[in-house]
Amino acid sequence: MKIDGCTAIVTGSNRGIGFGFVEELLAQGAARVYLAARKLADAEAAAAQTSDARVVPIQLDVTKHDEVAAAAERCTDVNLLVNNAGAFHRVTLLEAPDISSARDEIETNYLGMLAMVRAFAPILKANGGGAIVNVLSAGGICAVPNMGGYSPSKFAARAASDCLRAELEPQGTHVAALIVGSVDTRMAEHVTWQAKSSPRDIGKAGLMAASRRIDEHDTDPHAESVRAFLARDPHTLKRSMVKALHDGRR
């Protein structure tokens, strides 16, 4: 997978990590980048920030079948799919008034990603195989109770990434799963107790994983520390998650 000259579509790319991917794709010589967001106005505003004719704004809500289908029908030149669109409602599984938040997190973070892969797999095959990058989370390797439905949705997306990689191997499409820790985005603005990586750094790590055909990649120091702690002392890490949950309620 060569980033120079590729054509990419990045979901949820009007801000945060998604926009970091757009910036890095442009810097590394992508021929075209479809900048996708739920609202076309948001996509157009983000595209205008780049001042680059290679950026094509499109409306795309990954939870809506018709919009996923329309994107696949329009973007037939894609050979790199970046599944970045995500939902995080910051309510726990039991304290939420109902299960609508958890349902939206599952539908966006897992089923939306799956819908995009199903729609674009034939396109990637027709364009030589290419690659898929799934933006996951350290909450997808260690259950985080105060993340509510977000952490379970990322566990599901991680497992699906392994399954999809196996299914797509015969057509030459690689699937890279990114384990992302603390990043300086609006979604993580409540995190004040640790250093945050930049969205652009996550984009750079994701493109490296695609080009080098890395199956699963820890993108930043926080993700690396969670992986190391989980390997070294999983019980203590899990207990620390419980303590963090209850300390936050006091």
Residues with a catalytic annotation lie at 150
User: What span, in angstroms and rounded, lies between the C-alpha atoms of 102 and 84?
Assistant: 18
Cα 37 from chain centre: 13
Query: Tokens standing for 26?
Result: 């442009």
Positive or negative, the Cα torsion across 161, 163, 169, 170?
negative
Check if the beta carbon of residue 31 is closer than 8 Å to that of residue 8.
no
| Helix segments in the chain, DSSP class H | 16-27, 40-50, 65-74, 100-106, 113-126, 150-168, 199-211, 221-232, 234-247
Other C-beta atoms lying within 10 Å of the C-beta of residue 235: 7
Using alpha carbons only, what angle is made at residue 150 by residues 97 and 64, rounded to the nearest 5 degrees?
85
